[in-house]
Amino acid sequence: MITEWWKGLQRLVYDRPLKADFLIHGRYKIKEVLGMGSYGITYIAVDIQTKEAIVLKQLRTTKAKTDSGLHSFQRESQMLKALQHQHVPKLLDEFQNEHGFFIAMEWINGDTFEDLIFRDQKTYSEEETIQLLVELLNIVENFHEKGIIHRDLRIPNIILRDGKLHIIDFGLACYVTDKEIQDPDDHPEKLRMREISVISDLFALGHFALFLLYSSYEPQSRKEKSWEEELDISQSLKTILRKMLQLDEPFHSVEKARTAITSI
């Protein structure tokens, strides 16, 4: 308890965000804080050379003092370099100065599915869910072909912009050859999502699909039931989701999952 309190105090003192209009690296003017994650602070900034809005990610000072924090931050830029995919932010710059470690990347100015579902009350049918799932599988397959596992395919990290899907936040991504280090005390769902295997990304996309399907769900009673009982979807899709969620023998490749989905 004391340790967590001390860590929280350290973050409050050392991990203060840069202020609006602050010019960093002689090029990027901070506009606002976009978000604060466990490892980094993300800003919307303006590149004064190109006049374009970009995303600037700063490694938390407290995390920069740890090997794991620094490695995770550096790995994100490595992943963006390796992918260079049209549905992934472009890496624009990376630098270090007296304010810490930074990555500059393309700003995917769209709506996350977290916003679409919870802010905009957007609903998705089974047909729409399948279509989006197939599109995401096509994108993620490219990651896997390059030996990269995203490990964080949640609704805040999947964006819809101008009708096209984009995947952001590669802070937890790793190569399939990386050594796996997990805390056995973590929640089973977290362990499955963080596993260094293609099935972890399929597991996350299974949960993504459930979020979409539940967006149009209206409870008929106060009794809590399983998703299979509550959701009015085809048996074929239930069978596929059970495999993606590792309730049954899982798919071991994107290709097999996509083949099953497109055959519905």
Catalytic residue ranges: 152
Closest Cα to residue 171, out of 53, 31, 58?
A: 58
Whole-angstrom Cα distance, residue 34 to residue 43? Answer: 5
Residue 34 backbone dihedrals phi, psi, to 5 degrees: -90, -35
Give the other-Cβ count within 10 Å of 40's Cβ.
Answer: 26
Q: CA-CA distances (angstroms) from residue 170 to 20, 38, 154, 160, 242?
A: 25, 13, 12, 17, 26
DSSP per-residue codes, 66-116? SHHHHHHHHHHHHHHHHH--TTSPPEEEEEEETTEEEEEEE---SEEHHII
**CA pair distance 143, 173, nearest whole angstrom:** 10
User: Which of 123, 128, 105, 134 has the alpha carbon at shortest distance from 47?
Assistant: 105
3-state SS class at 224: coil
